[in-house]
Amino acid sequence: MKVLILGADGYLGWPTAMHFSAKGHTVLATDNYGRRTRCKSINAEPLVEPLNLDLRAKHWREVSGKDIAVQIGDCCDYAWLKSVVAEFQPDCVVHYAEQPSAPYSMADQGKAAETLQNNLMATMNVVFAVRDAAPNAHIVKLGTMGEYGTPNIDIEEGYLTVAHKGREHTFLYPKTPGSIYHLTKVQDSDLMYFATRIWGMRITDLNQGPVYGIDTDQTMLAPELQTAFSYDDVFGTVINRFAVQAVAGYPLTVYGKGGQVRGYLHLRDTLACVELAAENPAEPGEFRVFNQFTETFSVNDIAGLIQSVGERLGYSVAVDHVDNPRKELEEHYYNPANSNLLDLGLQPHFFSFETIKPLFDFIETNKQRIDTSLFAPKVLWQTGL
């Protein structure tokens, strides 16, 4: 396939680009370095800032003998994006090109507006660029399990059939986003569902849970191929952040009671899920939704698991419950379905000592870079920064 990766500089984007290239696909990686700019704007640098895309593509060629083409540009610039799609003629467009942080979106009006403008404009432009320049291409869009919220019924994969007054209809599953970021993801889903119904497009929405880990078959080949790894309270996901805190000897910062349950998956499984979606595309006119996670944990569960792994590796790991900066239920029902990707052949990498040890090893290697001032939550959902 010819695979266009939008947002290829990010934590998920670069490993995805290498993964598809390693499989023999023709890959074009694009980004505007928005993640780097946002991290610097709030003084929250990743543990290791990776090389730029051109340099990483150069090292990838030296290590693998395979090419990843790179173009730098902004998906909010429609003329640029349409020209890229028209020239490359992708079979699959993997869309990661969004502001990915809930706390960032809740910090103040400016960051909320930036998140809305960037995420919705980018997605609209992707839809129109594919519709007008490569209409047979399949869009694989990264959504989030956070779209659903925490309803008191089972969460289905994208749709819910409702019986009402003797009649029945299937709707997109009702959404209850908990941040401006998650709200943009809901609006993305509505826009893409519209595009499949009105224009007959082929779109898969991957509602992904928080991702953890740093090691893939490709990132482990050379330090120059490493991806971005954030651990701060704004851009770092909870398992990654807890692992850094454990190595740093800093108490794990559990928000509130710690009963919040979410679905999680390893970085390797993100790559497998995107590959499965791309190799088994949606039909024309189909808006397909996959819930992309492998296990559910409460925050207390995660703290206990990280504590166990850390102590096995010789770290002394304490747990500290701090005031919850977010507005969310801390005790709730949570039972989401995730059978579609498993039915396509996903073989999960479950949380275990073996899957987490490479993460601890990576952090230990870069321990001198840890800034413990980045751990404490600074964005309050009710008042912002």
Annotated catalytic residues are 144, 181, 185
C-alpha to C-alpha distance for 243 and 127, rounded to whole angstroms? 38
Across 2-11, b (16+ Cβ under 10 Å) vs e yields bbbbbbbbbb
Give the whole-angstrom CA distance, residue 181 versus residue 98: 9
> Helices 109-133 and 78-88: crossing angle, nearest 10°?
40
Long-range contacts of 268-271 (CB under 8 A, 24+ apart): 268/213, 268/215, 268/216, 268/217, 268/349, 269/294, 269/346, 269/348, 269/349, 270/12, 270/15, 270/16, 270/208, 270/211, 271/15, 271/16, 271/19, 271/216
Strands 252-255, 319-322: pairing is parallel
| Measured distance between the N- and C-terminal CA atoms of the chain, rounded to whole angstroms | 44
Q: 38 burial class (0-12, 13-18, 19+ CB within 10 angstroms)?
A: buried
Contact assessment for residue 369 and residue 48, using Cβ atoms and an 8 Å cutoff = yes
What are the CA-CA distances from residue 45 to residues 135, 231, 232, 310 (Å)? 39, 9, 8, 24
